Chains A and B, each alone.
Chain A
C-alpha cells in the first residue's frame, strides 16, 4: 500500500484539479491530505512536495498543517493498526493496563510500528463504545471488555493469522 506509484500521483492530481474548481481551493488542503493518507496509509514527504506544487502552497505550510493534526501519519504504518481507546470511560475501566500490556507484547511505544511491520500502535479518544470499555480498535473493528491478559491473546490471534497467510 505504501509504495509511491505514478498511478497514485495521477489520482492525487485529479483530486486536486477537482478541488481547484471550488471556491477557496486552498481550504481543501486537509481534505487532500486525507485523500493522500487514504492512498498510502501515511503522508509521504515527496507527496507533500507534489501537493505543494499542485496547490501553489509552500511545502513548509503543508508540513505545518500535517504535523499539527494527530490524525496524519508521517511514517509508513504496519499491516494492522491498533488504536487503544484512552477515553475517560476506558481509562476508568483499566485502559492503562491494556495499553501497557500491548506495549510490552509488541515492544513498542505509542506511535511506533513493530519490527515485523505487523502492528502500528496508536491512541484514540472515545470510540463510542464506552458500554464495553475498555475498548481497542484493530483496523476499524472494535474489541471490547478487554483485560491485560485477553488483549495479548487477541494479538496472538492476529499474529497467527498473518503467519498462516505468508506460510
Chain B
C-alpha cells in the first residue's frame, strides 16, 4: 500500500542533540503499535535551518511543522494528527497557512517568509541519503539538459549571464573564472569543491552537504563539462564526519546511476569524483594552500599569479569554487541565468546563505536574497535579541570580517555595501552581539584565532599579529597604555599591506573595525580600567549585595579564602586577596554576587 502520510524528521546536529533520533524510534514503535506502519512513511532530512525550534518534525500532506517535539508528544501526534486528522496546534510552529509566499511547505512563517531558497532549496525537505528523493525534485535534470542540449561555451555563458559570484568570501565572478579555466589547453584539468569552511562560527557548507549532497555534486559535474575536466575533488574538513559520509553515499549512488563515470548519461563526457580530507588548518581554505594540501604537502599559500585556472592542482588548470557557489549551478542551468540575475542587487545577484547565531532568538541557517537588510535578518527572521537585552553589533565574515553597530542595521546585504560599511560578506557567518559582550575581548578572540592559524610563512602575518595580540591582551588585563590604540592601527595597516595571502591581509580587520566603531570601549579599558560588559576578568570586581542570605556557599568555594562572613549574615569579599576567578559568582544561588 502507498503511504498516506509522510513524516520528515530533521537529522541535523542540533536536532540530533535535541533527541530527534530517539523521537524517530518512538515514532516507529508508536506507528507499529497503532498498525499504521504501512500507511505512514518516516523520512529523515538534513537541516531545515530552524535550529532553535528543534527538534523539527514535518507532517505531510498539510505541511504542518512541529517544533520542540519530545518523545512524550509522539502518541498524541500519532493519535490526533495521523488517526483523527487533527493537527496538534500546541506543538505546531505555525497554525494556518494564510498564503504561500514561496515554497508551499514553508507556509506563512516569518522565519521562512522573508527567505528565498536556491542553494538550500532541498535542505530539510528531501532525504539526503536517497538519490531517488533528489531525482524527484528535478535532480540531475540540469545535468541532462547540459549534456544533451548545451555546449560548454553555452554553459559558461549562462553562468556569466546569471551574475553569480563566489560564495567562499572573495566574490569573484564565477562565469569569468570558468571561462579562464576553459580557455587553457591540455587534456588534464581539475575541478575542486572547497568545503573546508574555515570561519569558526559558521556551518553553511556543512549543512548544504548534509542536507542535499547531490545538488553540490550536480554543480561540480556541470563545471567539469564546461571547462573540460575529467576529475573533480571535494576537499572537506575531517571534522565533518556526517557530511563526509553523506557525500560518499551520494557519489556512490551517482556512479551506480550512470551520473558519474564513463560516458555520463550516454554522452561523450566522462567524469569522476573523489573526496579528500582536510586536517584542521584554517589557511587550507585559501585556494593555493588547499591545492598544496591535496597534493599531500603542508598547506602553505603561494603567490598568485599563477592563478589556479592556469596552474593549479598538479600544475594543471584547475577550477575551484565554494560549496554554495556549486549548489547554485543546477538552478541556473534549469531556470536560466537571466532569471537568476533578477534576484538580488545591481552588483550581487541571487541569494546568500548565513549561519545566524549568537544573541538572537531564532538561531539557525537562513538564505536570503541579496539586498535584504541586516535589520530584516536580525529582527524579522531572527526574531530579535532575547532576554530584553540591547543589540550591540553584528559580526560578519568571521576572522576576516568586521563588527557593525546599530547605525549600519539598514545596510543591504551585498558584497559592495558590506565592504563600504567596514565589514565583508565573508562566507556566511553572522553573529549577533548584545550588550553582554566586550568588543575588545571579541577582537582579541578573533586575533587569537588568526595568530594561531597563521602558517608562519610571512613575517608581518606571523610576527605582526603576535604583537597586536600582545597589546590587546595587555589592554584586556588592565595594563593598556596611552598610544596602544595608535600602535594597533599602525600594525594593522602594515600587516594588511605586507602579507602574502588573504589570511594575513584580513587578520587585522576585526581589530580595525572595532577600533573604528567601538573605540570608546578600548579607551575605557585603557584609561578607566573598565570593561562595561564585565567580560575582561581582570577589570571586573565581584561584590556581594544585600540579597546575600549568608548561606556560605561562596565562602566554601573561594580558592583563596577571600570571602568572610557569619552564617545567615551578609558576606563580604576582600578585594586584595580576590583573584577574580568568578567561582563565587557562579556558585551563589541567590544572585547576591554581582560583577562591577
Q: Which residues of A contact B (CB under 8 A)?
A: 24, 26-31, 33-34, 64-65, 68-72, 86-93, 97, 124-133, 140, 142-144, 147-149
Expressed in whole angstroms, the Cα–Cα distance for A45 and B429 within the complex equals 38
Contact call A71/B201, Cβ cutoff below 8 A: no
Chain B residues within an 8 Å CB radius of A140: 241
- Distance in Å from the Cβ of A72 to the closest Cβ of chain B? 6
Q: List 20 A-B contacts (CB under 8 A).
A: A24-B295, A27-B295, A69-B281, A70-B279, A71-B281, A72-B280, A88-B200, A88-B358, A88-B395, A88-B398, A91-B445, A92-B437, A93-B359, A125-B282, A126-B203, A128-B203, A130-B357, A130-B363, A131-B364, A132-B14
Q: Per a CB cutoff under 8 Å, which of A72, A128, A144, A148 touches B586?
A: A148
Q: Per a CB cutoff under 8 Å, which of B17, B198, B278, B364 touches A142?
A: B17
- Distance in Å from the Cβ of A74 to the closest Cβ of chain B? 13
Expressed in whole angstroms, the Cα–Cα distance for A72 and B17 within the complex equals 26
Contact call B437/A128, Cβ cutoff below 8 A: no
Q: A69-B279, A70-B279, A92-B359 are in contact. Are A29 and B298 (CB under 8 A)?
A: no
Report the nearest B residue to A148, measured CB to CB: B586
Interface residues of B in 1-28 (CB under 8 A from A): 12-14, 16-18
Chain B residues within an 8 Å CB radius of A128: 12-14, 203, 206-207, 240
Report the nearest A residue to B275, measured CB to CB: A31
Chain A residues within an 8 Å CB radius of B296: 24, 26-30, 65
Chain A residues within an 8 Å CB radius of B54: 131
Contact call A125/B241, Cβ cutoff below 8 A: no
Expressed in whole angstroms, the Cα–Cα distance for A86 and B446 within the complex equals 10
Contact call B277/A132, Cβ cutoff below 8 A: no
Check: B293 CB closer than 8 A to any chain A CB: yes
Chain A residues within an 8 Å CB radius of B437: 92
Expressed in whole angstroms, the Cα–Cα distance for A2 and B314 within the complex equals 35
Expressed in whole angstroms, the Cα–Cα distance for A34 and B184 within the complex equals 34
Expressed in whole angstroms, the Cα–Cα distance for A158 and B549 within the complex equals 34
- Distance in Å from the Cβ of A116 to the closest Cβ of chain B? 22
Chain A residues within an 8 Å CB radius of B398: 88
Q: A27-B295, A88-B395, A92-B359 are in contact. Are A130 and B582 (CB under 8 A)?
A: no
Expressed in whole angstroms, the Cα–Cα distance for A163 and B398 within the complex equals 42
Expressed in whole angstroms, the Cα–Cα distance for A26 and B293 within the complex equals 11
Report the nearest B residue to A135, measured CB to CB: B17
Interface residues of B in 513-569 (CB under 8 A from A): none
Check: B232 CB closer than 8 A to any chain A CB: no
Q: Per a CB cutoff under 8 Å, which of A88, A125, A142 touches B357?
A: A88
Chain B residues within an 8 Å CB radius of A127: 13, 239
Report the nearest B residue to A69, measured CB to CB: B279
Most buried by A among B198, B207, B239, B433: B239
Contact call B357/A131, Cβ cutoff below 8 A: yes
Contact call A33/B355, Cβ cutoff below 8 A: no
Expressed in whole angstroms, the Cα–Cα distance for A30 and B363 within the complex equals 35
Contact call A86/B200, Cβ cutoff below 8 A: yes
- Distance in Å from the Cβ of B122 to the closest Cβ of chain A? 18
Q: A88-B445, A89-B431 are in contact. Are A30 and B277 (CB under 8 A)?
A: yes
Most buried by B among A31, A91, A125: A125
Chain A residues within an 8 Å CB radius of B206: 128
Expressed in whole angstroms, the Cα–Cα distance for A30 and B240 within the complex equals 16
Contact call B586/A147, Cβ cutoff below 8 A: yes
Chain A residues within an 8 Å CB radius of B446: 88
Q: Per a CB cutoff under 8 Å, which of B17, B299, B431, B455 touches A88?
A: B431
Expressed in whole angstroms, the Cα–Cα distance for A29 and B202 within the complex equals 28
Q: A88-B429, A92-B437 are in contact. Are A131 and B276 (CB under 8 A)?
A: no
Chain A residues within an 8 Å CB radius of B455: 68
Q: In which size bucket is the chain B interface?
A: 35 or more
Chain B residues within an 8 Å CB radius of A92: 357-359, 431, 433, 437, 442
Contact call A97/B582, Cβ cutoff below 8 A: yes
Q: Which residues of B contact A (CB under 8 A)?
A: 12-14, 16-18, 51-52, 54, 198-203, 206-207, 238-241, 276-282, 293-299, 314, 355, 357-359, 363-364, 395, 398, 429, 431, 433, 437, 442, 445-446, 449, 455, 582, 586
- Distance in Å from the Cβ of B463 to the closest Cβ of chain A? 19
- Distance in Å from the Cβ of A34 to the closest Cβ of chain B? 6
Chain B residues within an 8 Å CB radius of A91: 201, 442, 445
Expressed in whole angstroms, the Cα–Cα distance for A68 and B235 within the complex equals 17
Contact call A89/B13, Cβ cutoff below 8 A: no
Contact call A130/B201, Cβ cutoff below 8 A: yes
Chain B residues within an 8 Å CB radius of A69: 278-281, 299
Expressed in whole angstroms, the Cα–Cα distance for A38 and B301 within the complex equals 28
Expressed in whole angstroms, the Cα–Cα distance for A148 and B282 within the complex equals 28
- Distance in Å from the Cβ of A58 to the closest Cβ of chain B? 13
Chain B residues within an 8 Å CB radius of A65: 296-298
Expressed in whole angstroms, the Cα–Cα distance for A72 and B279 within the complex equals 7
- Distance in Å from the Cβ of B472 to the closest Cβ of chain A? 15
Chain A residues within an 8 Å CB radius of B202: 87-88, 126
Contact call A30/B279, Cβ cutoff below 8 A: yes
Chain A residues within an 8 Å CB radius of B294: 27
Contact call B239/A129, Cβ cutoff below 8 A: no
Q: A31-B276, A88-B431 are in contact. Are A144 and B17 (CB under 8 A)?
A: yes
- Distance in Å from the Cβ of B139 to the closest Cβ of chain A? 24
Contact call B586/A24, Cβ cutoff below 8 A: no
Q: Per a CB cutoff under 8 Å, which of B18, B279, B299, B582 touches A33?
A: B279
- Distance in Å from the Cβ of A163 to the closest Cβ of chain B? 25
Report the nearest A residue to B233, measured CB to CB: A27
Q: A29-B296, A89-B201, A142-B17 are in contact. Are A24 and B238 (CB under 8 A)?
A: no
Q: A30-B279, A30-B296, A131-B364 are in contact. Are A126 and B199 (CB under 8 A)?
A: yes
Expressed in whole angstroms, the Cα–Cα distance for A143 and B238 within the complex equals 20
Contact call A131/B363, Cβ cutoff below 8 A: yes
Q: A26-B296, A27-B295 are in contact. Are A131 and B51 (CB under 8 A)?
A: yes
Contact call A34/B241, Cβ cutoff below 8 A: no
Contact call A133/B357, Cβ cutoff below 8 A: yes
Report the nearest B residue to A89, measured CB to CB: B357
- Distance in Å from the Cβ of A152 to the closest Cβ of chain B? 10
Expressed in whole angstroms, the Cα–Cα distance for A28 and B16 within the complex equals 33
Chain B residues within an 8 Å CB radius of A149: 586
- Distance in Å from the Cβ of A24 to the closest Cβ of chain B? 6
